[in-house]
Amino acid sequence: MPTFVYTARDPSGQVATGQVEAEDLSRAAERLREMGLWITQLRPGGASPGARGHQRSFAEEYLLHVYSGVSLRDLAVFYRQFAALIHAGISLYQTLDTLTRETQNRRLREVIRQIAAEVLKGQPLAEAMDRYPWLFSDLQRHMIRAAEIGGLLESVLARLADYLENEWSVRTRIKQRLLYPFLVFLALIFIPDLPILVLSGPAPYFIAIWHTWGIRLLVVLLVYLTGRFLMKYEWFRAVYDDLQLAVPIIGPLVRKMTIARFARAMAALTHAGVWLNTGLRSAADACANARLRRLLHRVAPAIERGVSLSETMRMTGFFPPMFLGMVQTGEQAGSIEAMFDKAAEYYEREAEHATIQLVIIFGVVLLLGMAYLVLQRVLQFYLGYFSGIGGAAD
C-alpha cells in the first residue's frame, strides 16, 4: 500500500509530521482528519517538493514571465470546464485528457497535456501545476493543494473560475475606459503631420512620423519589456510597488486595487478550507503588491499565537479602518468568507471609479497636447509659407 508523508497540526496547534498508509491521496487525508489533525502538507512517500520538477527551458525561465500567451479568460474557462467534468464523476486523468482536446489555447493545451501525464504517473495535481509558476499563480496552486487534501476539488475549481472571471471582468472594464485616451494618443501621432501627407505624399509623411515618434516609442517599448522581465525579481517588484504607492494620485488607487485582490483571494482560500495562517500568506502573494506581501508575511505568525485575523491585519498599518471593521464583523458573525467577498466588491467599485476619473483626466491632457502640436505645425507651415512669399517678392 502506498505511503504518504504529512505535515499537520494537532488540536493544540503543535506541528506533527509522519507517514500514513492509504490507497490514494484522498484516503490518506481522510485518515489524518479522523486522527484530529489539520493537514498543511501531504505528498507521496519518497518524494520531496520539487523532486519531480523538470528543467525549465529558456522561455519558461525568462520569456513567459513577460508574456505567457494565456489570458485570464482562458484560465477561467479551463477551471469552469474542469469543475463541470469533475462534477460529472469523471476521473481526474480522464478530465485532464478531455480538456487537452477541448482547450482552444495552444500553449494552455500543451501544459494540460503535460500535467495529465504527471497525474497518470501518480503525482498530485497541485505538484504537477507547480512546474508552471508562470501560468498558475501561488494562489491557484495553494487552493488546488488544499482542495485535494480536503476533498473539495469540484467546489474549489468553480470558485477559482469565479475569481478569475471577476478579475478578467474588472480588467476589461478598465481597458474599455482606456480606449478613448488610446485613440487620442494615436491621433496625436498621426494628425499633426497631415499637411506633409497632402503636400508631399505618403513616404515623406511616414518619415516625418518616424523622425518625431519612432525612437521615443521604441524606447518606451524597451522600458516596458525590461520592466516586465525584471518583475520576476523580488527586489525590483518591491521598489516598483513602493514607488506606485508613493505617487499622490496613483497611490490611493493602487492601494484600493491591492486590498480588493487580497480580499478576493482570502474569500477563495477560506472557502477552500485553507488554514488561516497559510491562507493569509497565500493571499499576500496573490495581492500583487510587494509591500503588503512583506507586511503580511511578517505578522502572519501572530495568528499562531491566538491573535485574531483582524488584529493581525491591523498590525500591518496598510488596511483602512473600514476594511478592518468588516473583517472583525465577519469573524464575530462566523461569516468571514462572505464578508471578504463584500469588501472585495466595495473596493473594486471604488478602484474602478478612481480609474475612470484618472482616464478622463488623462484623455483631456492628451487632447490638449494634440491641439498644441497641431497648432504648432499649422503656425510653422503658414510662417514658412509667408516667409517664402516675402523672399520671392524681394
Beta bridge partners of 8: 16, 39
Query: Would you say residue 374 has pLDDT above 80?
Result: no
pLDDT at 68: 64
pTM for the full model?
Answer: 0.63
DSSP element (H, E) containing 237: helix 234-246
- C-alpha span between 154 and 91 (Å, rounded): 12
Average pLDDT over residues 193-216: 84
| CA dihedral of residues 158, 159, 162, 168 (deg, nearest 10) | -110
| More confident site: 182 or 58 | 182
Range ranked top by mean pLDDT from 131-140, 142-151, 238-247: 238-247
- C-alpha span between 318 and 300 (Å, rounded): 14
pLDDT at 78: 92
Q: How confident is the model at residue 53 (pLDDT cuts 50, 70, 90)?
A: very low
| More confident site: 348 or 256 | 256
What is the DSSP track for 65-102? HH--S--HHHHHHHHHHHHHHHHTT--HHHHHHHHHHH
Q: Which domains does the chain have, with CATH numbers?
A: 3-44 (3.10.20), 67-136 (no CATH), 163-177+200-343 (no CATH)
- Determine the Cα angle at 377 with ends 373 and 383, to 5°: 140
pLDDT at 24: 63
Query: Would you say residue 50 has pLDDT above 50?
Result: no
Range ranked top by mean pLDDT from 25-29, 54-58, 114-118, 236-240: 114-118
| CA dihedral of residues 157, 162, 164, 170 (deg, nearest 10) | 180
The candidate with the shortest Cα–Cα distance to 243, out of 290, 300, 275, 173, is 290
Average pLDDT over residues 314-333: 91
pLDDT at 361: 81
Residue 17, exposed/middle/buried by CB under 10 A (0-12, 13-18, 19+)? exposed
- C-alpha span between 347 and 339 (Å, rounded): 12
Query: Would you say residue 66 has pLDDT above 70?
Result: no
Residue 152, exposed/middle/buried by CB under 10 A (0-12, 13-18, 19+)? middle
| DSSP summary character for residue 123 | -
Mean residue pLDDT across the chain: 80
